[in-house]
Chain A
Amino acid sequence: MYVALIIFAVVVVIGVLLYNSLIQRRNRVDNAWSQIDVQLKRRLDLIPNLVETVKGYAAHEKSTFDAVISARQAAIAAPSTPAAQSGASNAVTGALRQLFALSEAYPDLKANANFLALQEELTSTESRVAYARQFYNDEVLGLNNAIQKIPGLFVARLAKIGPRDYFDAEPAADNPPKVQF
């Protein structure tokens, strides 16, 4: 009689611990997802300053400026779904690459301290976006592993915690943007 009770208590305790750890994992995945958003917005905020600095030296490169500004507007207006966001952010990356390539033709711009500081900021923000995606994918891997392996499988089924999708590279990443002078 008592043995059955003890076994039951042990099973309940294990179940509770497993459930808690799955909830923790799921919340970490959600947090990682919003991190990506934060970094993408941060990149968009840096762009106006950069455009002004470059305009000071290369005012007549209108097409490049327009590309960057319109890509930024599109990214701000895009809905918060992964597909829309990744498409918009890729367009911004391409436009920015054109803008930075301008500095090769204008040595004064290349030496400008403000421009260099902004370049550093944008490079590190791109890194942060990449790292946020990587972290999100790592957390999704952890969650998917936990809910598909035994014994987490049972708790996940009971609690209806489902697997998550990875944040894949955009299809446009297969075609690198062209840099034109």
Chain B
Amino acid sequence: MHELISSNKRRTVMLMVVFVLLLVLVGMAVGVLVGNGTVGTVIALVIAGAMAFGSYWKADKIALAVSRAEPADPAVYPRLHNLVEGLCIAGGLPKPGVYVIHDPAPNAFATGRNPQHAAIAVTTGLLDTMNRVELEGVVAHELSHIRNYDILVSTMAVTMVGAVALLTDITIRLMWWNGGRVSREGDRDNGSNPLAFVGLALLVLAPLLARLMQAAVSRSRESLADASACQMTRYPPGLISALEKLRDDVTVTHSASMATAHLWIEQPLSGVGDAGRLARFHSLFNTHPPIEERIARLKEI
């Protein structure tokens, strides 16, 4: 279990490094194509960073408002509060805000910029479907997201995606305005610079690659949360049983949206098909690993 956790953390670091490399490559491509690559990259990073970290700061309030969550009354939901408090003792965390969402589909999410400003929300569907140990497994998974600072990690990933998108978008526009000529000091002949083609291909592909990497980061953090949850409860069968129930349930969570999709324990959006020739391609964009894979991995612990 500990090896699973540390290998997962290493994987995230590697993904982040690759992300930064991609940004640097894009910056270099911009430099080849329109000049001022470094300045452009820095500006894009600053803008994307400001947007992402602005929303990260208020992450808990925003996510809760979007999902229409209301605070869970301890008198109405004593078991939920008891489970959260017990697991917070096990994890050495302060107790987060506990919220309930009125939605028949079983699901849950966690949000907040650090353990002191965190919140978890569960749907009434989850409370109805799960028994005590399963609910405990799900809550432990969500608390693990908080403990591992996953909101911070995914905000950094979103910043990278945003920076890449901004940079490539503006550069392509600049190139159009330039009449398609590649301007580079010291370039006497107007012949095509071979680097320009590579640069252009990179510009077009970069946003796609960035989203793929964001999805990869999200998937690896989900696996980490699964392993951390088992470390918290010391009882993998609880979470395994909960995931099996989630796999068999087909209700669509209506309170989710594209923006919050990555926060939930189970992919809330239907429509990403499992069959067909493009299925493997689609699966690269999943924010969560396939449930069968998660269950299999936990069973090995």
Contact = CB atoms under 8 A, between A and B. Distances in A.
Nearest to A32: B92
Contacts of B85: 124, 128
A120 interface: yes
A63 to B, nearest CB: 30
Interface of A: 28, 32, 35, 39, 117, 120-121, 124, 127-128, 131-132, 134-135, 139
B86 A131 contact: yes
Interface in B220-273: 234
B79 A131 contact: no
B89 A132 contact: yes
B146 interface: no
B49 interface: no
A12 to B, nearest CB: 29
A83 to B, nearest CB: 22
Given A124-B83, A134-B234, A35 B89 contact: yes
A132 B89 CA distance: 6
17 contacts: A35-B89, A117-B78, A121-B78, A121-B82, A124-B79, A124-B83, A124-B85, A124-B86, A128-B85, A131-B86, A131-B87, A131-B90, A132-B89, A135-B89, A135-B91, A135-B92, A139-B92
Interface string B55-99: 000000000000000000000001100110111011110000000
Contacts of B92: 28, 32, 135, 139
Given A35-B89, A128-B85, A135-B89, 5 more contacts: A120-B79, A121-B82, A124-B85, A124-B86, A134-B90
Contacts of B89: 35, 39, 128, 131-132, 135
The 10 closest A-B pairs by CB, nearest first: A124-B82, A131-B90, A127-B86, A131-B89, A128-B86, A131-B86, A132-B89, A135-B90, A134-B90, A128-B89
A141 B83 CA distance: 24
Contacts of A120: 78-79, 82
Interface in B81-120: 82-83, 85-87, 89-92
Contacts of B91: 135
A164 to B, nearest CB: 16
Contacts of B78: 117, 120-121
A49 to B, nearest CB: 15
A32 B78 CA distance: 24
A37 to B, nearest CB: 13
Nearest to B231: A138
A100 to B, nearest CB: 15
Most chain B beta-carbon contacts within 10 A, residue among A121, A127, A128, A134:
A127
Most chain A beta-carbon contacts within 10 A, residue among B85, B86, B87:
B86
B34 to A, nearest CB: 44
Nearest to B87: A131
Contacts of A32: 92
Nearest to B83: A124
B123 to A, nearest CB: 21
A117 B85 CA distance: 17
Nearest to A31: B92
A121 B83 CA distance: 11
A103 to B, nearest CB: 18
Contacts of B87: 131
